Structure 1
Amino acid sequence: MHTFDYEKSGHELLTTQTVNLLNAVHEAKGRQNVQLQVSPELAEPLANVARIQSTDASNRIEGISTTNKRLAGIVSEKVAPRNRDEEEIAGYRDVLKTIHENYAYIPLKPNVILQLHRDLFKHTPLAFAGHWKDSDNMIVETDGTGHAKVRFRPPSALQTPELVAKTCDDYNKTNEAGDIDPLLLTCMFVFDFTCIHPFNDGNGRMSRLLTLLLLYRSGYEIGKYISIEHLIEQSRATYYEALAASTVGWNENTNNHTPFVNYLLGIILTAYREFDERAAIVSTPTPARHSITKKQRITDVLNQSLSPLSKADIQQTLPDISTSTIERTLKTLLNDNQIQKLGTGRSTRYVSLHR
């Protein structure tokens, strides 16, 4: 059975690369605190966009989706789910909201993890919600030719309750001792939780929700404003590569946390840097912002981007501009042959023709 020693593992992780990532995140956290004090109006629009992106991305990683319109309605609780995918999306919305609003009162304990899993599936009729897995499972990956192979065999269902209890206990003990950076502890715990794979379904979504919970409890609230789940989805191939590299030897206690820890620290740092970019836009002196029309600001974003942008990308860059205004502007720019529309439906992107 795998054993946990986060104090020992944490010290072993302190390579130059990891320490540099930690220092960069610490500095970015300090900047965010100042930016929110200077521009408090930044918080709400960014949080609204991040909430939709997080709910969408974390479910899409698992092949669960709906239309953009339905997604927005479900996240805002204006429409009820009408199929299995939407039931699971509504569950993620609920748990995400619980964590965002109550993280300070949610300790890392096995019974709490079970309660969060129960709520993740509370809109579905599934009987396994809120229970550890009742049969052994395995993590399978499929290559480009459609060939499936077992990437990792998690511990048995019989071992699961004990392993979850031990990893929670060691996390809490090490965190209270204060000798290991909470960011390292979060990354190691999330990785080990993923390896245990304690549920019949929902393991990936639970790992991402627990990432947010532990980050918030440690004072790193970036996931409220920039979707960490969205960044993971955008780098899905690297995410799975890091998981695969760190799982080698996990059952024999010979694995190396470094690939996954550095990947997740990199994602967190990217989120902070995106926040910096949003803050720079909003903190532009008000008269200067008001002297430029919203249409021109949207046009500028498209002109300055080296890659096609979705409506969500534009809204995240310009959180103070409403979705309806962005949609009207895109339609006008299309009619004026200023931009080109690529793809359809959820994959729709827009690219400037005058860069």
Structure 2
Amino acid sequence: MKDGVSGMDTLHQRLLKYSTKDERHRGLYKNLSNKVIANYPDGTQKVIFNTTEPHLVENEMADLIDWANQQFKLNEIHPLVIIGLFIYEFLSIHPFQDGNGRLSRLLTNLLLLKNDYQFIQYVSFENLIEQKKKLYYEALMDGQKNRYLDAELINSWILFFLDALVTLIHRLELKYDVFKSKGGYLNDRQKKIKEFIEKNQPIKLNDLLQALPDITIHTLKKDLQYMKTEQVIESIGKNRGTVYIIKFED
């Protein structure tokens, strides 16, 4: 967000770079009023809410970006809440003629990465929103129905947004469990160690040194410790009497 409004224009332009139907308004704030319309899998449509009028967009976007930058610097509100609030306001303003939903997901990913939530690059926020489209629109509409009024509450949206992130984290954990079960998280050297232990267990450190002479004792100790931490192997005994075996699932 540090590039401000010009940065937002650039993101929109790049997002729709290969969309010929959006060529005329690519990277430009809207000049016609638009509405948020929900498209459901059964083909039905529903108007969710009316958005900010074109002549107000530039000022509202500038205010929103300034607010977000200031909040990130102050560090008084949790960054996930700031991101959720920013996305809600962005969607409410709907600053571009088209592509606002897609851009909001891109902005979500960028802001999460900027705030060190690196997990988002391994999962699809876009895909999750598509799967939860009905709940997504309902959460937005719950606040939008009272836009600009004191009764405008966005609790439902913030809870939806945070719940979506929790769901994505759970999905990533499941992916990791599958990856881990296949041994894909071990490098080639560690796979050799695992294979040797499987065939010859229980084994001692000296057994590994003799079987794998190209690996130093320092590296072997580090690998064994890592494999213990990842629960690939377990050790029995202490000091020179320590032996290693494959850890079986309970």
SS at match of 2:96: coil
Counting only pairs closer than 5 Å after superposition, residues 133-172 of structure 1 correspond to structure 2 as 133-141=30-38, 150-172=47-69
TM-score, structure 2 normalization: 0.67
Partner of residue 7, structure 2: 112
Match of 2:142 in 1: 245
Where does 1:97-108 land on structure 2 (aligned, <5 Å)?
Answer: 107=2
The answer on whether the counterparts of 2:87 and 2:104 sit within 8 Å (CA) in structure 1 is: yes
Q: State the distance in 2 between where 1:228 and 1:147 align.
A: 23
In the alignment, which residue of structure 2 is the partner of 1:122? 17
Counterpart of 2:4 in structure 1: which amino acid?
K
Deviation, 1:275, is 1.2
Unpaired segments of 5 or more residues in structure 2? Answer: 184-190, 196-250
The corresponding residue for 2:236 is none
2: CA distance between counterparts of 1:177 and 1:196? 24
- Equivalent residue pairs, number: 184
Task: Name the structure, 1 or 2, with higher relative contact order (CA <8 Å, separation 6+).
Answer: 1
Give CA-to-partner distance per residue, 1:217-258, whole Å, 9 cap, x none.
111122211111111111111111111112121233531121
Equivalent position of 2:107 in the other structure: 210
Report Cα offsets for 1:272-330 as digits up to 9, x if no partner.
1111112122223737x99xxxxxxxxxxxxxxxxxxxxxxxxxxxxxxxxxxxxxxxx
Give 1:143 deviation, angstroms.
Answer: 8.2
- Whether 1:254 aligns to 2:151 is yes
- CA RMSD between the two structures: 2.4
Deviating more after overlay: 107-116 vs 152-161: 107-116
CA 1:178–1:284 in structure 2 vs 1: closer, same or farther (change >3 Å)?
same
Moved over 6 A (4+): 142-147
Q: How far off is 1:206 after superposition?
A: 0.6
Task: Give the match for residue 270 of structure 1.
Answer: 167
Give the TM-score, by structure 1 length: 0.48
C-alpha distance in 1, partners of 2:108/2:41?
Answer: 29
What residue identity is the alignment partner of 1:113? M
Q: Which amino acid aligns with 2:34?
A: N
Indicate the SS of the match to 2:34: coil
Paired with 1:147 and 1:236, the residues of 2 have a C-alpha distance of 13
**C-alpha contact 1:175 1:185 (8 A) present in aligned 2:** yes
Cα deviation for residue 108 of structure 1 reads 5.6
CA contact (8 A) 1:108 1:168 kept: no
Identify if the C-alpha distance between structure 1 residues 133 and 226 changes in structure 2 by more than 3 Å, giving closer, same or farther: same
Given that 1:140 and 1:149 are in contact with CA atoms closer than 8 Å, whether structure 2 keeps it comes out as yes
**In 1, distance between residues paired with 2:168 and 2:2?**
24
| Residues 77-96 of structure 1 mapped to structure 2, 5 A cutoff | none
Q: Is the contact between residue 88 and residue 157 of structure 2 (CA under 8 Å) also seen in structure 1? A: yes
Amino acid at match of 1:214: L
Cα displacement string for residues 148-206 of structure 1 (whole angstroms, at most 9, x for unaligned residues) = 65431111100000000000101111110000000000001001100001111101101
Residue 221 (structure 1) aligned with residue 118 (structure 2)? yes
**Identity percentage over the alignment?**
28
Letter in 1 for 2:17: K
